[in-house]
Structure 1
């Protein structure tokens, strides 16, 4: 009878503890990271009334006779299944998806505790702490390399809110875009002496177009080509029109009132022959020099030339050349004693040329564009390729003209050719002739009379340029603006490559070494050449050390950087790797547990990484309250790793893991515990009634 009483008592005690577990689960239904507990029962050792016996002969075996003595608690385990995740939008709220625990320490890392509750925040000293002030453990990033060594020991995570990062000096600049290779530009700059004439433009941005022919003009210096229409190698005027005299064509002119007519085929066939005929008939000195028919007055009295006319002259080409001897059609011109006068130039090969007269049109000097000439640019031989070469030729011929050696030609800051009259008297430049209409128009404003000490100027010559600026940083984080100027300086008709010069500049007091270089592009617009070194050295003269900045304009033979298409010049992208110093503005945490700092200079760096601990036996952990667990001998040694590795779950930032208590299950367990408790009380009451009945026997 007493056994049943004790069994009932054990049942009351066990189910009371069952209710305690259920009550604790329900009480923590809103506790962050809480794991519900499960209770299990086992019976108590039974009282054996008789043991078992084996079968013997004809007698069968017998089973043991035992009476149980009640129940007891077998174990109380945690349910470590995943709880629901709740977004909080708080950066330092973290949840683990999968296995593992956050590691915290309240004694500077001497001992560790473990938790699933990730409701962390930063304290006044920048420590990442839990609600109890325990510091979250992990790995700190190297402040210089911004790398995290997860093979090292874990430490308390500390991120000061006033944290700053040093400036990053600019070491590399990349520029991509297009440099205009077309015949019309909108971005231009005054030409300078080194610019080749074949890449210059007028003030409206239209290409002059000089040098686009494949043939270089050549003067008929001897005047020996046959002027007839059937000649296979005719002579030409400056516009490239051939002289084509028909059989029996005539040239007539008057000198001092006497008129003579010269017949082609009879009196002359060449320009030199016409000069000889004029000398013989008029008794004057006529010859061919530098492709021009020259009449010299070797006498003491002036001679007057007029009435120059031709017949059988196709297009009047020869007439147009000769009529400068009389100052133009319908005019008359007087040559003083000792003076001379020329026709316009005659060419054996047409091409780009310009003819200038420094004595009002009496005598002309012809300058031929010749890209490949060794004389081009130095004022020798009348050839030129650059603007400076043309000016050098003009200066040479000014010396031998009425302007004299004191008068000079130069290129001003506006890209104009300027001639200064230092002769002491007024001087006149005649009409300008050129086969290139644009070039003739630009130089045409030189024509006219210039007073003493005054100047005459051409229209501006413009260069094809493109400017782009980029901000860079020195070693102290100071921002400086570098400007890059790209200037087209030449086009080689043989290789069909265009050459550009780049120049880097910065405001004073900065000083730049290796500040310019050369780029070349082929006819497809591809970059084909870069001069070396492709780097500039800048001394800012502000107390910082000089810095070398590497330049990247794209890969040779590709279109991945600078190109040269017939499109407006533009910069499509430019990058540099420098930055100013910055202060910490905010943090982010990724799923690997890396805490990344966002700084005021726009940079972001990893600052720390949160460690995760996993155990062979999570139920071996001992609960310490405050959502904390401690390792025990039966939990196993913790394996410390980063999130997402070695069996550890990943981290969900700005999220908390809710309690995994299931209220439906707990309410059911409550009913079960209550009914079991009631049933055990019935055992006691029934046993008591039976004892009372026994006591009532008389």
Structure 2
């Protein structure tokens, strides 16, 4: 009877532990990136009252099975379930979720931690941080992912100016017109704007045109190779056999000391037909200096800086950690995990690489708690607890009857 009572006590303890896990799951039903847990039970060692025996050698008596009495139940495991769940849209640039395997990597400066909760922000120093202040890790665009990641910082980013490298023209030249003028803007190596005027004129040769490049600031800008000729085929398409020279700009006067630039020209997207003239010239590679205005993040975890000069460039690569056994990670609170001896070391790389999930910017991963399942498990745990309490009550009544035998 005492044995059965102690078995009932072990059942109470085990089912209380199950209720603790269920309660924690339900309380985190709306926690960002939360991974639910489950409890499994296992029997405690059984006491052998009579061992098994083999059949007699003479075949006169058969074998017998062992007689064993179990000593109750214990918690076999408390497993973290890393199954996928849905995401909620927030449209906040620094809110990120991972569609697939992997964890964001954050650090307190000494130790690294791992999380599925991508509700990040940028602090006043420009660091990308998790809610607890841990810094999100990544690499600069030119760094190899085999190098240790560092804290991502988007403060004080700037873009130096760049000189224009070429002019690309597109559109149509009206075959019925004789000339057309178009003004373009180019940038020098210091990011200053300069206006150039392209004049297109028909020559006496059929389907042939001549271009001339001039400037209203001839005192300070000297243009070399400022003219040339090009042709169209009989079907109106550009004749690619024509060889266009590069236009050179040399700066003097108030621009003295500025590097000269060479403009490669491309007219291959121009046509000549009876439609209206609608020539468009696009300068390539040139822009003024700019400072960071905002950022965006793409599916591979590239942080892209958007600058006041209208340009953009890659600034950071967000690190994603992948584990052989993510269930072996240790929960440390605040939606964070820590590596353990059974999780293995993390493999760090970009999102979408080698089995890592891609990043969904502007979304957050929801908790994977299934309320219907949790409530069902709660009922089962409650009934199990009640049944084990009945074992104790009944054992107590039997003991009471035994005590009463002496009366």
Deviations 1:84-128 (A, max 9, x none): 100011110111111111110012xx3211111111000111111
In the alignment, which of 77, 86, 89 is matched to residue 87 of structure 1? 89
In the alignment, which of 523, 529, 535 is matched to residue 247 of structure 2? 535
The 1-side partners of 2:168 and 2:247 are apart by 11
Match of 1:18, SS? helix
Task: Specify the alignment match of 1:164 in structure 2.
Answer: 158
Residue 473 in structure 1 maps to residue 187 in structure 2: yes
Asked if the contact 1:476–1:544 (Cα under 8 Å) also holds between the matched residues in 2, the reply is no
The 2-side partners of 1:485 and 1:153 are apart by 55
* TM-score (normalised: structure 1): 0.55
Deviations 1:296-345 (A, max 9, x none): xxxxxxxxxxxxxxxxxxxxxxxxxxxxxxxxxxxxxxxxxxxxxxxxxx
Quickly say closer, same or farther: Cα 1:532–1:75, change in 2 above 3 A: closer
- Residue 148 of structure 1 deviates from its aligned partner by 5.2
Asked if the contact 1:178–1:565 (Cα under 8 Å) also holds between the matched residues in 2, the reply is yes
Task: Specify the alignment match of 2:108 in structure 1.
Answer: 106
Match of 2:161, SS? coil
In the alignment, which of 313, 322, 342 is matched to residue 605 of structure 1? 313
The 2-side partners of 1:65 and 1:528 are apart by 96
Task: Specify the alignment match of 1:511 in structure 2.
Answer: 221
Match of 1:694, SS? helix
**Runs of at least 4 residues off by over 4 Å:** 177-181, 496-499, 525-532, 563-570
- Residue 481 of structure 1 deviates from its aligned partner by 0.9
Matches within 5 A, 1:253-652: 464-488=178-202, 490-491=203-204, 496=206, 498=208, 500-521=210-231, 524=234, 526-527=238-239, 533-539=245-251, 541=253, 542-555=255-268, 560-561=269-270, 563-565=271-273, 569-652=277-360
- Residue 465 of structure 1 deviates from its aligned partner by 3.1
Match of 1:16, SS? helix
The 2-side partners of 1:501 and 1:21 are apart by 79
Match of 2:179, SS? strand
Residue correspondences, number? 401
Quickly say closer, same or farther: Cα 1:503–1:47, change in 2 above 3 A: closer
Asked if the contact 2:223–2:247 (Cα under 8 Å) also holds between the matched residues in 1, the reply is no
Asked if the contact 2:164–2:263 (Cα under 8 Å) also holds between the matched residues in 1, the reply is no
Task: Specify the alignment match of 2:128 in structure 1.
Answer: 128
* TM-score (normalised: structure 2): 0.92
Quickly say closer, same or farther: Cα 1:682–1:568, change in 2 above 3 A: closer
The 2-side partners of 1:499 and 1:666 are apart by 79
Q: Which has the larger Rg?
A: 1
- Residue 604 of structure 1 deviates from its aligned partner by 1.1
The 2-side partners of 1:566 and 1:527 are apart by 17
Asked if the contact 1:167–1:580 (Cα under 8 Å) also holds between the matched residues in 2, the reply is yes
- Residue 530 of structure 1 deviates from its aligned partner by 5.4
Quickly say closer, same or farther: Cα 1:135–1:523, change in 2 above 3 A: closer
- Residue 656 of structure 1 deviates from its aligned partner by 0.5
The 1-side partners of 2:133 and 2:77 are apart by 32
Residue 117 in structure 1 maps to residue 117 in structure 2: yes
The 2-side partners of 1:605 and 1:2 are apart by 75
The 2-side partners of 1:531 and 1:669 are apart by 79
Asked if the contact 1:129–1:136 (Cα under 8 Å) also holds between the matched residues in 2, the reply is yes
In the alignment, which of 358, 363, 366 is matched to residue 658 of structure 1? 366
Quickly say closer, same or farther: Cα 1:180–1:46, change in 2 above 3 A: closer
Quickly say closer, same or farther: Cα 1:44–1:480, change in 2 above 3 A: same
Quickly say closer, same or farther: Cα 1:181–1:670, change in 2 above 3 A: closer
The worse-fitting range, judged by mean Cα deviation, of 517-526 and 58-67 is 517-526
RMSD: 2.2
The 2-side partners of 1:674 and 1:523 are apart by 87
Match of 2:84, SS? coil
Asked if the contact 1:475–1:544 (Cα under 8 Å) also holds between the matched residues in 2, the reply is no
Asked if the contact 2:98–2:358 (Cα under 8 Å) also holds between the matched residues in 1, the reply is yes
Deviations 1:583-639 (A, max 9, x none): 212111111111111111111111111111111111111110111111111111111
RCO greater where, 1 or 2, for CA within 8 Å and sep 6 or more?
2
Deviations 1:229-258 (A, max 9, x none): xxxxxxxxxxxxxxxxxxxxxxxxxxxxxx
Q: Which runs of 5+ in 1 are unaligned?
A: 142-146, 186-463
Asked if the contact 1:83–1:658 (Cα under 8 Å) also holds between the matched residues in 2, the reply is yes
Asked if the contact 1:170–1:473 (Cα under 8 Å) also holds between the matched residues in 2, the reply is yes
Match of 2:391, SS? helix
Asked if the contact 1:517–1:532 (Cα under 8 Å) also holds between the matched residues in 2, the reply is no
Residue 49 in structure 1 maps to residue 49 in structure 2: yes
Quickly say closer, same or farther: Cα 1:619–1:565, change in 2 above 3 A: closer
Task: Specify the alignment match of 1:413 in structure 2.
Answer: none
Asked if the contact 1:486–1:503 (Cα under 8 Å) also holds between the matched residues in 2, the reply is no
In the alignment, which of 163, 168, 177 is matched to residue 174 of structure 1? 168
The 2-side partners of 1:649 and 1:685 are apart by 53
